[in-house]
Structure 1
Amino acid sequence: MIDLGPLRQHMPTFEPGTVWLVGSGPGDPALLTAAAIHALQCADVIVHDALVSEAVLALAAPGAAREFAGKRGGRPSALQPDITRRLIELAREGRRVLRLKGGDPFVFGRGVEEAMALGEAGIAFHVVSGITAGIGGLASAGIPLTSRMTNHGVIFLTGHLASAEGMAIDWKAIVDSRLPVVFYMAMAVLQEIAGGLLGAGMAPLTPAAAVARASLPDQQVLVTTLGRLVEDVQRANLATPAIVAVGSIVSLRSVLAPSVP
């Protein structure tokens, strides 16, 4: 058990019959918030995603039960309505329920849907933010999200939109913004993403990077250009999921990467 010492006085009480929606960060347990560690040590049952690392789960209280609720693209996965029903069921049994999610619960996840369903069911819930992969994952690879030398903003997108009907991405608006773009869940639709950006006029030599297993000891970092992104990712056989960044921020890795452990 990690002794949080005087920090505990700032933590809300994890009451029986409640659900905490907690972000576990990009994977490295050192990037957990103190509130996330507090939740892990108090929970009776942990309902966790596939992206939650074993090193993070190892911080749970010895008697805590674990229930896997991971969803992975192209593989048999738990259905969201079933997960939500299970959270409600466990809370109504009087358990302290920790819904542990990779990254941040409210960044391209189902945290909002789960919170709404819990509220409609009369279940009290608490949200604990986590370090999202688009920030912590890129930083672990020596790629800053912003810098005064390169950009005044950034665009976050989910790769799911690249192939979703009725939710087409306005590639021209993105390219015209001249802002770096960070894609979550992009590997399965990398061809559509690269094609969309190139088709809207983004230069093929625009720096691009893919970071797999971000923040973990076996992290993989591929730096290339937009024009070669799809080909180089396929050749490198990167693990999935991976965070993908396109734009000027990637070029700073050559300066910052030597300082990254």
Structure 2
Amino acid sequence: MVLRKDVPFLKFTLKFARLLVVWELVIDTLHSTLLLYMIWQYLIDNFSNEAFLEVTPWSITSTAALTALSACPIQIYLSHRVKKLSGSWVVFTPLFILSLAEVWITRHCDLNTNITSDKSDRIDSYYNASRLVSIHIKNPVSVATDVSISVCLIFYLRKKRTGIRPEVAMGHRDSKLQNTDHTFPLPSRRIAEDILVERKRQYYFQVFSGVTHGFASRGDPNIPDERWGREQSAQGISGWFHRFLDERFA
């Protein structure tokens, strides 16, 4: 019943993940095209042009905006996954605000470093652009966002993680075997039952063999008769338990 309730959400998650893949492909293609255009400008059109080296081309300043557009949807998606794992809006809200703040700061940097209609507001050199406060704030905010999301994901995933004990695993196989009554034909069910019974038998026999081996090894090596007696007792108990398992799982 839980799986059936989660099916619509799983479908939405898969569709959103596919949209993210398409979005990243578009952003990466556009960014690669801009980088090729920038290389052409530097090496072909303006080779040995010192005046051009003092100007910040728009293809470089747009890189920050494209990076933010690429990272923001993924950060919001991972923040939502943290919310699903933790069930707390208190954890999700700061991560969401940090993601939006990174986009806003990046957009502010991009507007200041690009050509505007007002010549006095134009910051078209690397030196002037490096003096912007938003340039220095962007990287710490970006690092804080990525580290916060990563730490939250690792923490809550490890918190949800549980160990699988042998008896739990066998109980899980039992439930799976019971659920195959209407899907597997009768010969297949019998084969599956035989395999499951044999695995149970081997598991219990290995556990009991370890106990009897420990009992036998406690004998004093300096007293051969005592050590021999313990080994004979352990072999007798082991043989009895083996016959018991054969009768139990026959």
TM-score (norm 2): 0.21
Compare the two structures and name the one with the higher strand fraction.
1
- Structure whose CA Rg is larger: 2
Q: Which has the higher contact order (CA 8 A, sep 6+)?
A: 1
